[in-house]
């Protein structure tokens, strides 16, 4: 597996500094509208287990925990994990939080779902295959991968673009059941020049 680059100073990959300096343009003003839609559609059940890889300060973690889901949040940034801990505590909720490299994480038992939100587009593309392998290994057969694929034409990143063509190669049909393309919903990002994220659910085979 490729190593995570060591980031320094104002490097956009220095996630902990970015949280400390509030340089976090990927953060939406509230819950992601796709997650709200999936919650309202009854996608998540109390007693299920889910993970948000690279959870940062995503409010989805405690919203899903509030439904009685056993949530895990993993992030390299101690600042983000401390923030999540404080919010869980003040909401009287619990979740498993770990300051760790997502790509090396292994849960004790297989999970029902992965909620992917601006993690795949944040990691260098040469780490993507390790992420797909991790998500596949974490999930039970039939487990759900809630994808929010960032659409972007410009080269470079983060965020790095996640075109559907590239995603079909990364999450191959031999390992994942894909929805019809028409089932994906575009959600423009209010703080990233309206770049759309395509929301859809992949099922682990
Ligand atoms: C663009 S932010 C998204 C944060 C959060 N998912 C959200 O939507 O607000 C990317 C996050 O991934 C974390 N991250 C990047 N590489 C990681 C890795 N290899 N292991 C764990 N966390 C990582 C960063 O610290 C950061 O919190």
Assigned domain for 18 exists: no
115 lines ligand 1 (CB under 6 A): no
Read off the pLDDT of residues 27-42 as tens digits, 9 standing for 90 and up: 999 999 999 999 999 9
Residue 57 domain flag: no
CB atoms within 10 A of CB 124: 13
Q: What is the DSSP letter of 93?
A: -
Query: For the chain, how many structural domains are there in total?
Result: 1
Of the chain, the percentage scoring pLDDT greater than 70 comes to 95
Question: Angle at the Cα of 75 (from 72 to 78), degrees rounded to 5?
Answer: 115
Mutation test residue for ligand 1: of 7, 76, 150, 189, the one with most atoms within 8 Å of CB: 76
Query: What is the pLDDT averaged over residues 35-52?
Result: 98
Would you put residue 68 in left (φ > 0), alpha (ψ -120 to 50) or beta? left
> Three-class SS string for 25-73?
CCCCCCCCHHHHHHHHCCCCCCCCEEEEECCCCCCHHHHHHHCCCEEEE
Ligand 1 centroid from CA 127, angstroms: 13
Query: Ligand 1 mean position to 80 CA, how many Å?
Result: 9
- What pLDDT was estimated at residue 129? 98
Predicted pLDDT of residue 153: 86
* Entry pTM: 0.94
Residue 181, classed as helix, strand or coil, is: helix
Nearest to 114 by CA among 54, 57, 51, 182: 51
Domain that holds residue 144: 29-52+104-204
Residue 12 counted as domain residue: no
**Nearest-atom index, ligand 1, CA of 102:** 20
pLDDT of residue 10: 53
Q: What is the pLDDT of residues 114-149, one digit of tens each?
A: 999 999 999 999 999 999 999 999 999 999 999 999
Predicted local confidence at residue 12, as pLDDT: 75
Query: Domain with 41 in it: what CATH number?
Result: 3.40.50.150
Helix or strand or coil: residue 87? helix
Q: Measure 116 CA to ligand 1 centroid, in angstroms.
A: 10
179 is a domain residue: yes
Whether 8 is in a domain gets the answer no
Whether 146 is covered by a domain: the verdict is: yes
User: For residue 67, is it within any domain?
Assistant: no
Atom number in ligand 1 closest to CA 74:
21
| Within-domain flag for 78 | no
The rounded distance, in Å, linking the Cα atoms of 100 and 202 is: 25
Nearest ligand 1 atom to the CA of 16 is: 25
């Amino acid at each position: 597996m490729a190593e995570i680059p060591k980031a320094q100073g104002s490097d956009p990959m220095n996630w902990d500094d970015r949280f400390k300096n509030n340089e976090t343009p990927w953060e939406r003003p509230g819950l992601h509208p796709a997650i709200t839609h999936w919650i309202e559609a009854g996608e998540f059940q109390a007693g299920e287990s889910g993970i948000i890889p690279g959870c940062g300060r995503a409010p989805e973690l405690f919203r899903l925990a509030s439904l009685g889901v056993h949530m895990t949040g993993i992030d390299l940034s101690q600042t983000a994990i401390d923030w999540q801990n404080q919010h869980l505590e003040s909401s009287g909720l619990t979740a498993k939080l770990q300051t760790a490299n997502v790509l090396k994480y292994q849960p004790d038992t297989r999970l029902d779902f992965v909620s992917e939100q601006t993690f795949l587009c944040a990691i260098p593309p040469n780490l993507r295959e390790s992420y797909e392998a991790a998500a596949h290994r974490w999930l039970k057969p039939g487990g759900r991968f809630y994808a929010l694929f960032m659409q972007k034409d410009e080269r470079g990143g983060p965020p790095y673009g996640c075109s559907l063509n590239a995603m079909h190669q990364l999450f191959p049909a031999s390992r994942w059941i894909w929805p019809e393309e028409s089932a994906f919903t575009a959600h423009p990002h209010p703080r990233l020049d309206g770049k759309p994220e395509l929301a859809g659910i992949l099922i682990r085979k």
